[in-house]
C-alpha cells in the first residue's frame, strides 16, 4: 500500500540534500534514516553522531561507494594492508 505524506519545503530540501544519488526516492531516504536507529543504542550521543553522519551527503556518497566496492570484491584484508604498509 502506498500513502502520501505532507512535509514543508525546508524538510523537503533537507531530504533532497541527503540523497546519495539524484534518483533516490524519499521512501529510500526515510528507510535509511529509520533503519539506522536502534532502540538499544538510543543514547543521545550515539543518536547525534548518527544524525551528523547521515546528514552529510558527501559522507553518505562515500559510504555508498565503499559498499559498492565491497560488493564487487574490491577490498583487501587487514593482514594484506599491514603487509603492504610494512607494519
Would you say residue 79 lies in a domain?
Answer: yes
* 86: region left, alpha or beta (phi > 0 left; psi from -120 to 50 alpha): left
- pLDDT at residue 15 tops 70: yes
pLDDT of 41 > 80? The answer is no
Q: Residue 7 pLDDT > 70, yes or no? A: yes
Within-domain flag for 4: no
42-51 pLDDT, tens per residue?
Answer: 677 777 777 8
Asked, for residue 34, whether it belongs to a domain, the answer is yes
- Cell 521512501 sits on residue: 27
pTM reported for the whole predicted model? 0.44
User: What's the structural domain count of the chain?
Assistant: 1
- CA dihedral in degrees (26, 62, 71, 22; nearest 10)? 30
Domain of residue 62: give its range.
9-85
Asked whether residue 75 is domain-assigned, the answer is: yes
Q: Is 2 part of any domain? A: no
Amino acid at each position: 500500500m502506498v500513502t502520501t505524506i505532507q512535509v514543508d519545503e525546508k524538510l523537503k530540501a533537507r531530504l533532497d540534500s541527503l540523497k546519495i544519488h539524484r534518483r533516490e526516492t524519499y521512501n529510500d531516504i526515510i528507510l535509511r534514516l529509520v533503519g539506522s536507529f536502534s532502540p538499544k543504542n538510543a543514547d543521545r550521543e550515539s543518536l547525534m553522531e548518527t544524525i551528523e553522519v547521515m546528514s552529510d551527503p558527501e559522507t553518505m556518497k562515500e559510504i555508498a561507494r565503499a559498499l559498492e566496492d565491497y560488493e564487487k570484491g574490491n577490498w583487501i584484508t587487514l593482514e594484506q594492508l599491514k603487509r603492504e604498509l610494512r607494519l
